[in-house]
Chain A
């Protein structure tokens, strides 16, 4: 059974770079898409982006080029870096697996089926 666990600093200073790692256990990172999602206090969910195990990435344009997601296959981990953070980046950050189901040739459906517990990151001086 695949499990995910986020790790990283809980406090980041404004203008600095937030760095988080997600460790995948019980399965291989060498398939599926690996995602980051965040949730500001008291608010809804925001998709940050994902990486395919091959290294292809897709990011939310709302984050204006501040995001980098990378994979370290040797350690079954993937990481998030968010630069130039402000108080608006304070949130619970979740990593998740995005799985693909094929129902018929050419018909693919994607969903987040395994989530980490989340880690709280506060941006404050």
Chain B
């Protein structure tokens, strides 16, 4: 199985901050990397697919980059509704695997 390692596991930030979350795959996955946002008690929502493609309806302050084994999710100008947990997921092969998540908390 491809292991996905996210860092940090949690971070504290303020509204307006720029936030960066990284995800590393245990082997090359090209750009088969997706990012999801999950709020407490809710289902995950797709933010970014294929490493850098913004899902329809997702604000442009979210962006993704990377290829191979190293990927980044960036939130420009953090908004109150962005405090949540973020997961990366590889879809290069099966079984699909997720990172353990990064919780973005209020500073």
Which residues from chain A sit less than 8 Å from chain B, CB to CB?
35, 44-47, 49, 58-62, 94, 96, 98, 101, 103, 109-113, 115-118
B residues touching A (Cβ–Cβ < 8 Å)? 1, 31-32, 34, 36, 42-46, 49-50, 53, 55, 87, 89, 91, 94-101
A112–B42 Cα distance when bound, in Å, is 15
Looking at the assembled complex, report how far the CB atom of A8 sits from the nearest CB atom of chain B, in whole angstroms.
Answer: 16
Cβ contact within 8 Å between B87 and A110: no
Q: Specify which chain B residues have a CB less than 8 angstroms from the CB of A44 in the assembled complex.
A: 87, 98-101
> CA–CA, A110 to B94, complex, Å?
11
- Which one of A47, A60, A110, A118 contacts B43 once the chains associate, using CB atoms below 8 Å? A118
Question: Closest residue to A110 on the B side, CB-wise?
Answer: B91
Q: How far is the CB of A50 from the nearest CB of chain B, in Å?
A: 8
Q: Nearest chain A CB to B88's CB is how many angstroms away?
A: 10
B98 pairs with A109, CB closer than 8 A: no
Decide: B50 and A47 in contact? CB cutoff 8 A: no
